[in-house]
Structure 1
Amino acid sequence: MSFRDDLALTLRARFPILYVESFEEQRVLAEISMVAGSGEQVRTVRAVHAWSTTSGVVTQNGAPASGTTDPRAALEWFRRNQEPSLLVMRDLHAFLGDDRRPADPALVRTLRDLASELQAGAVARTLILVSPVLRIPPELDKDITLLDFPLPTEAEIRAVLDGMIAANAGGGRIAIGVDAVGRERLAKAALGLTLNEATNAFARAMVNNGDLGVDDVHSIMEEKRQTVRKAGLLEFASVDIDLDDVGGLQNLKRWLYKRNGSWLAEALEYGVSAPKGVLMTGVPGCGKSLTAKAIAAAWELPLVRMDIGKVFAGLVGSSEQNMRTAIRTAEATAPCVLWIDEIEKGFSGLGSGDSGTSTRVFGSFLTWMQEKTAPVFVIATANKVDALPPEFLRKGRFDEIFFVDLPTAAERRDIWELHLTKRLRDNKAAGLAITPELLDSLADITEGYTGAEIEQAVIAGLFDAFSERRQMTGVDLRRAVATMVPLSVTQAEQISAIRGWAADRAVAATSAEDRAGYTTAASAAPAEPTGPDGSGPQLKLVPSDPTTRGGRTVDF
């Protein structure tokens, strides 16, 4: 039911006091005036008067009612006004108390008396409170009815965008470089903003470089960043990588590329709904968090990070409210990517010693995951997925569960190339020729190493070069590899357990053809350098059955 329909229904039913939580006062007033003045919707046309602490009561014809700046005086004025009418009070929340001070008892009593009078009165009158925050004293719980006022729809935001384009495109003031699809992308990017915020975002995009294009989605993201920061429970993560910057994981990448743009209207023509999200589990340091960031960049969506610890922080009893606020913020930022890193640390050990708070919070999150319609793509990562409750893993919460294993030879080659190219770009350590032979050699000696360990090997080689103020060499890299004990050795049992869990419960993030031909890395212990020059270990590669690696073999 729309806000107009809901408002009309409550007015016809003579509800005495309504409460609308919204920052958009003018938009709320416009909607109220439209409904109150429509004889078809409310049958009895009502005059709309407005009150604020600065101007007091201003009647529908614009005349001020003297001596009504005090809220109790304004309510008394409304009590005497015996015509079909509405009084919209915009600042009353400031008098209704908060966590630090109670509400004015005389004002509360006045509101309770007025509620009884309006409900039983012969004249159709209703008091409507409009506030950016929800403050209802317990004494008024049964007298006040809440009305949801949604944020602007895509059509409303599109109308604002089209109006701004029409107003600024003439005379060559602003170059317009967006077609119908581009305008849709810009409008969808602004979903979750108020009309004023959307107007500011579009204006910022236009004046940034004198034109408006699809790339200006990033300017709109900046406005959303402000919204997320003000909420305080989510973090707007900066992204400077793409999926191409993630080595390997071709199966996962294909799955993600096929779903790019699935939140646009074009997808509806194919009967496609926006994906819910993915859960990525696997060996630590193999690119799960990096992939989460890359997805947002590839899809040109904001990346919002939820810290479960912040949800459970604060006063006793506030965790449930924190989760609801975090969910509302994420939906207000939609379409977006919601990233929850190491989710098992936040939701493991539910209900132990906290009076069931964590269980209730987890239940709220699960229900939202199941029922959500907003295009919020949830990407959760977990290193110990067996610590998660089983109901979290069932179909309907996530579209797919992916297992990220230790990188194969081909993936290690890509990872070496990515990090060497990135680190040796235009600096004094550059000079090492990144040849196919070098990459193949480095990939061979790092069987069983994670992507994070390969990156650290490159960094260690750079430190060796820096200490002697010279260019980095292949010897530096081989020495760094030889002196590092990989995770596949120090946590061989844990990795084996993760693979066992994922064997028939998750889809392998690496394509099947890239997995064949190399041993599982836990069997390859690091070797010492073969000589004083640090020429590096020579690890023997043994063919292996690809089914020994974790994850179901499913290619997308």
Structure 2
Amino acid sequence: MASVGFRGDLSQAFRARIPILYVESYEEHRALAEIAAVARDPELVRTPRALLTWSPTSGLIQPDGTARRGAIDPEDALVAALRTEEPSVFVFCDLHGTLGPAVVRLLRDVAVAFRAGPVPRTLIILAPALHIPHDLEKEVSILDFPLPAETEIRALLDRMIDDNVATGRITVTLTPGDRERFAKAALGLTLHEAENAFARAMVDDAVLAPADLAVVHEEKRQAVRKSGLLEFVEPHTGLADVGGLENLKRWLLRRDGTWLDEAAAWGLPAPRGVLITGVPGCGKSLTAKAVAAGWGLPLLRLDMGRVFSGLVGSSEQNMRTAIRAAEATSPCVLWVDEIEKGLAASGSGSGSGDNTGTGARVFGTFLTWLQEKTRPVFVMATANDIARLPAELLRKGRFDEIFFVDLPTGPERTAIWTVHLNRRLSRPAVAGRLDLTPALLTELTKLTDGFSGAEIEQAVVSALYDAFAQRRPLEREDLVRAVTNTVPLSVTQAERITAIRSWAADRAVAATAPEDWDMGTGNGRAVEF
């Protein structure tokens, strides 16, 4: 259990006579239960201690459950703690909101008295936010209180299932593997949040099925939104909806489920992530969304622009906060789109447009985490301008693999036209005179040689604007005109694309292997370096 680590750290702090501890947690009741278990266990502490708790609403509560008279205000409660002459642990809940000059002075007195006193006494500040005044920084030791471990969440899930099945309230169609996925999906939530998520999944239709995993992800969405640095993205396409990129798709499919215990039994570590580079508009971001949907994991998007802040030290803290939020949501997919824009300048130590080194420090924090992370956070980073990627990011160990995505081939362009036109022609206002024949698709495919998938999509949209302006169905001429008026990126930036291909020839794996080029399936991709 995760609490074992906390119990060990707390018992060590008790035995070392550390006078003031700070525990940051929203789970007040769970934290109090752990503190009480350590304080009363003679195997963890040489001298068992009485537990007293204080809060602004209840005052100082003694071990027998009664409130001590005259100890409602924090100053009076701290004076009472100073006068206590028996082994004790005082837990002050939400004291961080009352840390005025008098309370700070009393806490400094407590630190001196408890450190040198004849009997072991410890004061613990338990609060949902970390707030330590400068005057107390040297007196207070921070103790991490972890969120519930998978075993605790699994026990909660099993207990809720047993209780509801016994009363006939729900039907459960989960396999043991499905239960493991539910428990892993709830990692990063408090026990209360996990209980709410499981309860919502059960009462939705009185059936707990694998599809209800989305309810747990929705609970995580709320937690991620509160961080303000990560965006919870709802993916609507799977890997089967991505045309081409067969080599990349096979690589991803082989790693589906490798964060589960079954893979650990094989000695397999959870995959670290991939860096996808190549020509803009050719499906890099779409693949990031598709892999999350295919794996059934939440997709988080890290916007590097939100990380950087004007306040000194806040950018580094923002990066650490974002990393903690991602790890708390694991297993998940972390999507870092156009990573070069946020990190390239920092690779030279110039920071994010400044000369303070802030960017370099943020970059260093991110790199260290990529190298050393142990939680199953699969990083999907995309990059268009490989020249701006710092060399440190490309070193082995940061990502499992680097893939290169090129312009779509003829069969792929046919598939792209088919997808976008079918999507629009299904609307009665658009359909009419246009018949999506093989001859038309062949014509459009030839006309768009050198076009990216995004450019083909925009050609369809442009044609629809022309049809809408005259309030008539879409016609062949609209599409041909839209294509003719488009100058693709392969023309305007031909030198850049040639440079990207040259770079990828020795440094990246083709997203589509040679054996997948033009297999007659519409998914081939000819990559010429």
2: CA distance between counterparts of 1:547 and 1:441?
22
CA RMSD in angstroms, aligned pairs only = 1.7
Report whether the alignment pairs 1:372 with 2:368.
Answer: no
Partner of 2:522: none
Could you tell me whether the CA contact under 8 Å between 1:245 and 1:418 is conserved in 2? no
Could you tell me whether the CA contact under 8 Å between 1:407 and 1:451 is conserved in 2? yes
2: CA distance between counterparts of 1:215 and 1:355?
49
Deviation at 1:283, TM superposition (A): 0.8
Deviation at 1:7, TM superposition (A): 0.5
Partner of 2:400: 399
Report whether the alignment pairs 1:419 with 2:420.
Answer: yes
Partner residue of 1:124 out of 120, 143, 150:
120
State the percentage of identical aligned residues: 60
2: CA distance between counterparts of 1:264 and 1:438?
47
| 1:158-210 deviation line (CA, Å, top 9, x unaligned) | 11111111121234311211111111111111000000000111111111222
> Partner amino acid for 2:316?
E
Partner of 1:509: 511
Partner of 1:33: 36
SS where residue 285 of structure 1 aligns? Answer: coil
> Partner amino acid for 1:371?
E
SS where residue 402 of structure 1 aligns? Answer: strand
2: CA distance between counterparts of 1:321 and 1:72?
32
Q: Which runs of 5+ in 1 are unaligned?
A: 97-103, 518-544, 550-556
Matches within 5 A, 1:155-554: 155-350=151-346, 351-352=349-350, 353-431=354-432, 432-515=434-517, 548-549=528-529
Could you tell me whether the CA contact under 8 Å between 1:248 and 1:410 is conserved in 2? no
SS where residue 378 of structure 2 aligns? Answer: strand
2: CA distance between counterparts of 1:245 and 1:465?
28
> Partner amino acid for 2:86?
E
Q: Which stretch shows the higher mean deviation, 432-441 or 499-508?
A: 432-441
> Partner amino acid for 1:276?
R
> Partner amino acid for 1:461?
A
Deviation at 1:516, TM superposition (A): 6.9
Partner of 1:539: none
Q: Which stretch shows the higher mean deviation, 352-361 or 189-198?
A: 352-361
Partner of 2:24: 21
Deviation at 1:412, TM superposition (A): 1.3
Deviation at 1:547, TM superposition (A): 6.5
SS where residue 235 of structure 1 aligns? Answer: strand
1: CA distance between counterparts of 2:174 and 2:428?
39
Could you tell me whether the CA contact under 8 Å between 1:280 and 1:401 is conserved in 2? yes
1: CA distance between counterparts of 2:164 and 2:427?
42
Deviation at 1:514, TM superposition (A): 4.2
Partner of 1:10: 13
1: CA distance between counterparts of 2:55 and 2:428?
62
Could you tell me whether the CA contact under 8 Å between 1:408 and 1:514 is conserved in 2? no
Deviation at 1:60, TM superposition (A): 1.6
> Partner amino acid for 1:370?
Q
TM-score, with structure 1 as normaliser: 0.90
Partner of 2:91: 88
* Alignment coverage as a number of residue pairs: 515
2: CA distance between counterparts of 1:516 and 1:187?
43
SS where residue 507 of structure 2 aligns? Answer: coil
Could you tell me whether the CA contact under 8 Å between 2:431 and 2:474 is conserved in 1? yes
| 1:63-83 deviation line (CA, Å, top 9, x unaligned) | 111221211111111111111
Deviation at 1:435, TM superposition (A): 4.0
Could you tell me whether the CA contact under 8 Å between 2:411 and 2:518 is conserved in 1? no
> Partner amino acid for 2:70?
G
Partner of 2:146: 150
> Partner amino acid for 2:13?
T
SS where residue 415 of structure 1 aligns? Answer: helix
| 1:22-67 deviation line (CA, Å, top 9, x unaligned) | 1100000000111111111112111111100000111121011122
Deviation at 1:415, TM superposition (A): 1.4
